[in-house]
Chains A and B, each alone.
Chain A
Amino acid sequence: MELNVGLLSPEILLTGIAVFMILLDLITPKRFKNKLFSVISSVAVGVAIILTLSKISPIPQKAFNGFITKEAFTGIIDILVLFSGLFTVLVSHDFIERKKISYIGEFYYTLLFVLVGAMLLAGSSELSTLFVSLEVASISTYILMSLFKGDYRGKEGALKYFITGSVGAALLVYGMAVLYGLTGTTLYGEIAQAAEKLSPLPLLLAAGLIAAGFLFKTGAVPFHGWMPDAYEGAPTPVTLLMGSAVKVAAFAAFIKLFIPIFYHFQAEWEKALGVIAVISMFSGALLALNQRNVKRMLAYSAISHTGIIIATFLSSPALTVFSVVFYLFAYTFMTVAAFGLITILSANGIKGEEIESWKGLYSKNPLLSLSAVAIFMSLAGIPPLVGFWGKFYILLALVKSGEVLLAVSVLIASLISLYFYLKPVVYIFMKEGTGEKFIPGAGEYVATIVSTAAIVIFGLLPEVIAQISIMGLSSFLRSLT
C-alpha cells in the first residue's frame, strides 16, 4: 500500500484552509468577513498553484493505491481550475460588497471545496473516487448558487441544476456499476486490460451511460436543459466558476476515463458522439442568436463550445488530448474574462446582464470596452486571439482524421456564433447612453483585465500553449502504458 500523500498536497492544503475558515467564521465580526476571507482564500489558492506547479512532472505519479494519477495533463487542468478559482475569489469580493448575503464565510469555503472537488475529479483514476469528487464539486456549486439573500432566480437555477445534475450522476453511476460488473475492478488501468477481451455490446452500454453522465455535466444537447437557467440564475461569479473550473475538470475526467477504456472500439460509438457534437454546436449557436440576456447567451454559446470539444473525440486519441487541452486552456481564460466583465457591468447602476444596458459603454470605460471586444472575438474564434487557435487545432485534428464533414460543421457553427458575439460589441460602440465614467472594484477589474491580456498574449504566442499541451499529451500517453 503506497499512499504518497504528498502528491495531493494542494488539495489537502485547500481542504485544511477551508476547515480552518469554518472555525474562523464563528469568531470574525461580520464587517471584516468579506475582506478577510477573500484574502485568505486567494492566498490559499495562490499557494496551491505554486504547489501544483512544483509537482508537475512528465512522469505520471500515483497516490492512494493508484486511485489518483497525476500526469502533466492533470497538472495543467489543476492549474486551470486553480486559476479560475483565484479569479472567482477576486470577482466575488467585489460582488459580495454590493449584494446582500448573510453567508460570506460559507461562500468562500464552499468555493474552496469546489476547487478541491474539481482537482480530485481531474486527478482520479478510479471509479468511486471519480464519482465522489464529482459530487463534491457539484454539490458545492449548487450551494454557492443559492447562498445570496432574496435571490430567487439563483435558488430556482440551483434547484433545476440539482435535479438534472442528480439524473446525470445517476446515469454515470449506473454506467460505472455496469463497468464494475463486467470487469470486477474499479481502477482504470485494470478495467482497460479486462475490457480488451470483452465483447463490445455490454461495454457499449457502460460507455453510453458514462458518456451520458458526463454530457449532462458538460451541457451537451440533449442533456443541456439546465444550462441556460443555471447560468442565468446563478450569481455571476458562481457562473464563472461553473463555466470554467467545474467544466474543465469534468472534461479532463471524461478523457482520463474514456480514452483508455473505450477507445479500442471507437468505430462503435463515434457516429452517436458525432451526432451529439453536431447538434450541440448548432443548437447552441442558433438558440443564442435571439438572447437579450448576455449570461443566457453565453450559456447557449457554452453548449456550442461543448459540442465543438466533443467533436474532437472522433479524431485519434493523441490528437484529442492535445486539442482538448489546448481548447480548454483557451476556453478557461475566455470564460473567466467574459463573466468577470458581466460582474463589473452589473455593478455600477446598470443591469449588465441585459444587452441594452451595454449601450455607450465605450464612452464610459474605453479599456473595458476594448477588452470586451477581445473577449467576444476570441470566443467567436477570430485570429489572432487565443480562441482562434483553439478552434484551429480542433479543425486540424478533425481534418487529419478524415472527419471533414465535422470540421465543416465546426466552421459553420463558428460563423453563426460570430453574429451573436458581435451584438454586444455593436451595443458597446453605440453613441447613446450617459457618458458617466465609472470605476470597477479592484479585484474584478484585475481578474477581467488579466484574463483578457492572457487571451491576447497567448493568441500572439500560441506555441506556448501548444508546448504545454504537447507536454500534457506525452505524459498522458505515458500513463497509459
Chain B
Amino acid sequence: MKEILFYLFGVISAVLALLSVTSKNVIKGGVALLGSFISLGAVYFTVGAEFVGIIQVIVYGGAIIVLYLFALLTMDVKKIAEEKVRGSSAAAGAFLSILLMILLLLEASKIAGKVKPAVSGAKELALPLFFKYLLPFEIVSILLLVATIGAVAIARREE
C-alpha cells in the first residue's frame, strides 16, 4: 500500500511540476507548482519522514507559493509573456539544469540501497532542539520578538 502511494504521489508531483513550467498561463503554472509541492510532501509521508513532509507543505506549499503569487501580482504578466526569450539565457538555463541533474543522479546513485529508516522524524529533531540546544532555541525566540517589534516600528508610516 505504502509503495503504491509513494509512486502515485511521485508521478503526480512530477507531472504537475512539468505542467507548471510548460503552462502558458502563469497563475495556472503557480497552482500546478503548489500541487506538485503538496504531493511531494505526501511522498515524504509515505516513506516515514513525516516531519519533513509537514515542513514541505508549510514552507513550500504555504510560504513560497504565496511569495510567488505576490510577486506575480506586482508584475505586469502580459508584458513578460510578450518578451522574447534570448538564446543565450535559454542555453545557460539548460546547462545549469543538466549540471544539477547530473550532480543529483551521481549523489543518488551513491546512497541508493543504504537508506536509513525513520530518519528526520519529528522526535529526532525535537529531542536535541528542546533539550541539548534549548538555550539557543530560547534566544532565537527573543530574536524573533525583537525583530517583529522593530519591523513594525520602523515600517509604520510616520504620522
A-to-B contact residues, CB < 8 Å: 1, 3, 15, 19, 22, 63-65, 67-68, 102-103, 106, 109-110, 113, 116-117, 120, 126, 128-129, 131-133, 135-136, 139-140, 142-143, 146-147, 149-150, 155
Contacts and interface: CB of A to CB of B under 8 A. Distances in A.
A1 B146 contact: no
A142 to B, nearest CB: 7
A147 B153 CA distance: 7
A22 B139 contact: no
Interface in B126-159: 131-136, 139-140, 142-143, 145-147, 149-150, 153-154, 158-159
Given A140-B150, A142-B150, A147-B153, A128 B133 contact: yes
Nearest to B135: A64
B150 A68 contact: no
Contacts of A15: 142
A245 B134 CA distance: 25
B146 A143 contact: yes
Q: Top 7 nearest A-B pairs by Cβ distance? A: A143-B150, A64-B135, A128-B136, A132-B139, A67-B135, A129-B136, A103-B153
A64 B150 contact: no
A134 B63 CA distance: 27
A131 B146 CA distance: 16
A19 B103 CA distance: 49
Given A67-B133, A129-B135, 4 more contacts: A117-B142, A129-B136, A139-B143, A143-B153
Contact of A110 (B132, B139, B140, B149): B149
A263 to B, nearest CB: 25
Contact of B143 (A106, A136, A155): A136
Contacts of A67: 133, 135-136
Contact of B146 (A68, A103, A129, A140): A140
Given A129-B135, A129-B136, A143-B154, A102 B159 contact: yes
Chain B's interface: helix, strand, loop or mixed, by majority? helix
A106 B139 contact: no
Nearest to B132: A65
Contacts of B140: 132
Given A22-B149, A68-B135, A143-B149, A132 B154 contact: no
Interface string B103-139: 0000000000000000000000000000111111001
Nearest to B149: A106
Interface residues of B, number: 19
Contacts of A132: 136, 139-140, 143
Contacts of B153: 103, 106, 143, 147
Nearest to B151: A143
17 contacts: A1-B131, A67-B135, A67-B136, A102-B159, A103-B153, A106-B150, A110-B149, A117-B139, A120-B139, A132-B143, A139-B143, A139-B150, A142-B150, A143-B146, A143-B154, A146-B154, A149-B158
A456 B4 CA distance: 81
A144 B146 CA distance: 11
B146 A113 contact: yes
B139 A133 contact: yes
A161 to B, nearest CB: 13
B135 to A, nearest CB: 4
Which of B133, B135, B143, B154 has the most CB atoms of chain A within a 10 A radius of its CB? B135
A102 B143 contact: no
A19 to B, nearest CB: 8
A110 B136 contact: no
B142 A136 contact: yes
A325 to B, nearest CB: 25
Nearest to A15: B142
Given A102-B158, A102-B159, A146-B154, A139 B147 contact: yes
B142 to A, nearest CB: 6
B139 A150 contact: no
Contacts of A103: 153
Contacts of B145: 19, 113
